[in-house]
Amino acid sequence: MKIGIISFAHMHANSYASVLKAMEGVTLAGIADDNEERGKQASQLFDTAYFKNYQDLLQTDIDAVIVTSENSFHHQHVVAAAKAGKHVLCEKPLATNLADMEEMITVCEENQVLLGTAFPVRFNTPIQQAKEMIDQGVLGEILAIKGTNRGTNPGGWFIDKAKSGGGAVLDHTVHVVDIIRWFTGAEVNEVYAEIGSVYTNQPIDDCGIITMEFTNGMFATLDCSWSRNRSYPTWGDVTLEIIGTNGTLKVDAFSQKIDLYSDSDGVQWIGWGDDMDAGLIEDFVNSIREGRAPLATGHSGMKAVEVALAAYQSHEKKTPVKLK
């Protein structure tokens, strides 16, 4: 199987490329990037062809592409890939508005190609164990969930709203909303949010508290922020506290680590556990081989972004917003 990557604008592109290079029966067949210096550097690092124009990559005999461009370009790149007959795995958020996401899904369906959303947290062992416990009814009826996704400000195009579509609320809401939807099968029907900019000194949101009500009567709260400073041992977290009628479950997705206290380097976290990106890419490759949908589809990506967009509306209106 031949897979290409469109743009190394997103830092996850390096991880995905490393996974592809290590997989048997898979070739990283090319990298397209309009940033010539970045693209050529990546192509040399991963020993593959470089294309300045993504259309040239799509005209080759690749089977699929991974889109890791700036958020505002996801729609353009996914639609072009689908029309070229290539399966697509798109970095989250799927897009920055509802109309673009709906078109991306429709065009992929019309051209009979798969569309997956990059939600690697689904491939984290603690998260999967929590999913299994919920499915088995161990917690009983789920009443409420408290989540966090607190990270470090990525800088660069992430704080340029024209390219990112939004700040921390868009960047971090989608991961946790996707997990909650996956855990419960319920949809968000109302959102209330308070959003601010207190950490980055930039005119973009870097923190938010979101309250969600779901179709099954459950509610959830989420701290989605870029509140970790540069000296914090890792980029951020994903935690969940799940309250059911039969018990409470706490999940820390990134606690597979060793705490290292060093006189020279301060506090560091040395990870020993899951490679979630490997799980994500392996699932995408296997979905193509088996002719099935990826674990996280384009529809999953759209439903998560809908909640983030509703959060922005709620903050502007100072009132809860119902989802259609």
| 324 pLDDT higher than 80 | no
Same fold, 2-113 and 122-276+305-322: no
CATH topology for the 122-276+305-322 domain: Dihydrodipicolinate Reductase; domain 2 (3.30.360)
pLDDT one-digit tens code per residue, 108-146: 999 999 999 999 999 999 999 999 999 999 999 999 999
Residue 272's pLDDT is 87
Confidence of residue 265 (pLDDT cuts 50, 70, 90): confident
Going 152 to 155 to 159 to 162, the CA torsion angle's sign is negative
Residue 67's pLDDT is 98
Percentage of the chain modeled with pLDDT above 70: 100
Residue 273's pLDDT is 86
Confidence of residue 234 (pLDDT cuts 50, 70, 90): confident
Average predicted confidence (pLDDT) for the chain = 96
Residue 231's pLDDT is 81
pLDDT one-digit tens code per residue, 149-166: 999 999 999 999 999 999
In this structure, are residues 69 and 7 in contact, taking their beta carbons and an 8 Å threshold?
Answer: yes
Residue 135's pLDDT is 97
Residue 306's pLDDT is 98
Is omega for the bond preceding 120 within 30 degrees of 0, making it cis? no
Closest CA to 57 of 80, 90, 36, 41: 80
Give the CB-side neighbour count of residue 7, counting CA atoms within 13 A: 19
Percentage of the chain modeled with pLDDT above 90: 90
Task: Specify the amino acid at residue 310.
Answer: A
Q: How is the beta sheet containing 50-51 ordered, strand by strand? A: 50-51, 27-32, 2-6, 64-67, 87-91, 115-118
pLDDT one-digit tens code per residue, 188-233: 999 999 999 999 888 999 999 999 999 999 999 999 999 998 888 7
pLDDT one-digit tens code per residue, 67-82: 999 999 999 999 999 9
Confidence of residue 281 (pLDDT cuts 50, 70, 90): very high
| 271 pLDDT higher than 90 | no
Q: Measure the CA–CA gap between 35 and 13, rounded to whole angstroms.
A: 14
Confidence of residue 268 (pLDDT cuts 50, 70, 90): confident
Closest CA to 118 of 160, 166, 78, 165: 78
Write the secondary structure of the chain as one string of H (helix), E (strand) and C (coil): CEEEEECCCCCHHHHHHHHHHHCCCCEEEEEECCCHHHHHHHHHHCCCCEECCHHHHHCCCCCEEEECCCHHHHHHHHHHHHHCCCEEEEECCCCCCHHHHHHHHHHHHHCCCCEEEECHHHHCHHHHHHHHHHHCCCCCCEEEEEEEEEEECCCHHHHCHHHHCCCHHHHHHHHHHHHHHHHHCCCEEEEEEEEECCCCCCCCCCEEEEEEEECCCCEEEEEEEEEECCCCCCCECCEEEEEECCEEEEEECCCCEEEEEECCCEEEEEECCCCHHHHHHHHHHHHHHHCCCCCCEHHHHHHHHHHHHHHHHHHHHCCCEECC
Confidence of residue 293 (pLDDT cuts 50, 70, 90): very high
Please tell me the pTM assigned to this model. 0.96
Residue ranges covered by each domain of the chain: 2-113, 122-276+305-322
Q: Measure the CA–CA gap between 314 and 191, rounded to whole angstroms.
A: 7
Residue 30's pLDDT is 98
Q: Measure the CA–CA gap between 25 and 22, rounded to whole angstroms.
A: 9
| 235 pLDDT higher than 80 | no
Q: Which CATH class is domain 2-113?
A: alpha beta
Residue 284's pLDDT is 98
